[in-house]
Amino acid sequence: MTAPRLASAEARLLTIPLRRPWGADVVDVRVITVDVIDSDGCAGHGFTWTPTIGGRAVLALLHDDILPFALGREIRPSLWQECWERIHEAGGGGVTTIALAGLDLALWDLRARRQSLSLPDLLGRRHDRVPAYGSGVNLHYSDQELVAQVKRWVEAGFTGVKIKVGRPELDDDLRRLAAVREVLGPDRALMIDANQRWNLDTATRAAEAVAEFDVRWLEEPLRADDLAGHVELRRRSPVPIALGENLHTRYRFRDYIDAGAVDVVQPNIVRVGGVTPFLEIASLARSREVELAPHLLPELSAQLAFTLPEAPWVEDVEDAGFGQLGALAEPSGVQIAGGWATGGPRLGLGIRFRSEETA
């Protein structure tokens, strides 16, 4: 049976202010929506995004290279690979895969809508709920603000939380961790994220020092590109190492897993290029018996987590979900309450943005 072809596609840039800036230079998120129509007249709606930086570059790559190449082609699973090979000269990952995610998500939404299904039902839903943990961009918070945030997570029923570390003095991080662990008690999971701030020696000292707080994982302690450094750090560290939000292809995930650099992989659905490569990375992690924990985007990550055998934890960043930011035209259907993600969209991805946020 002949597959429908991509008949039209349009991308546009939206600017969505953050309720509380993630830093002095990250005050909003840039969302690029992608709307497609196939040769049968069926429509699909996708998106990609980036925190403040690079939104116009992503839009330009979609306008100039990805969408013109995809137009007229059959909408088959192989189309992702064809597009990726086409734009590879601009980089194997990074802005290229972030841009490609916009088309990939739109095509998955289209496939689901053609069958009157939600994305989880199209893929095959395995779970009615998956665990969620509270997370925050909070390194710049005062100790009092951080403790108050953790208390909100505890009151909301989260059984795991993640905070930022990497202050200039390790003693500051340890003081804050002690205060957080006191609020959490012994039974809730505590994860920490250094956002690539340390070198190998600093990360080694930090990993040894934070072990007393029963840290579930230490995330991105080194520059994400430093494979050899992560291999050595994992050998030295008494706490598990997590990374992946800044790895952009399944090949890099394979390299890090097979080199023994990581305990928990955290692919970001958008940064790896969409649902298509995310599912491949999830399969790779499963085959290597490495834990998977999707990065950010709970309104989308939860939908895929519902379909995976392992029912991975999803990350809920306070005041950063598209629904929390008031950016959606209607609720996505995914709900996070009591430490669990439940629900899901009625049709397709269920993620449509309000047009009045256009930059």
Per-residue DSSP letters for 325-348? TT-BSS--SEEEETTEEEE--SSB
Report how far apart, in Å, the C-alpha atoms of 205 and of each of 76, 110, 174, 200, 228 are.
49, 49, 12, 9, 18
List helix spans (H) across the chain: 55-61, 67-70, 79-87, 95-114, 119-123, 143-155, 170-184, 200-210, 227-236, 250-258, 275-287, 298-305
Question: What is the C-alpha separation between 309 and 217, in angstroms, rounded?
Answer: 22
Task: Decide: 124 and 308 in contact? Cβ < 8 Å.
Answer: no
Task: Decide: 325 and 18 in contact? Cβ < 8 Å.
Answer: yes
Question: What is the C-alpha separation between 19 and 27, in angstroms, rounded?
Answer: 8
Task: Decide: 307 and 112 in contact? Cβ < 8 Å.
Answer: no
* The token pair that represents 332 in the structure block: 């996505």
Report how far apart, in Å, the C-alpha atoms of 2 and of each of 8, 40, 73 are.
18, 12, 11
Tokens 């995976």: give the residue: 308
CA distance between the termini of the chain: 42
Question: What is the C-alpha separation between 195 and 164, in angstroms, rounded?
Answer: 8
Number of residues assigned to the chain: 359
**Diameter of the chain by CA atoms?**
64
Give which of 286, 296, 327 is closest to 18, Cα–Cα.
327
Task: Decide: 130 and 143 in contact? Cβ < 8 Å.
Answer: no
Supply the residues annotated as catalytic: 164, 295
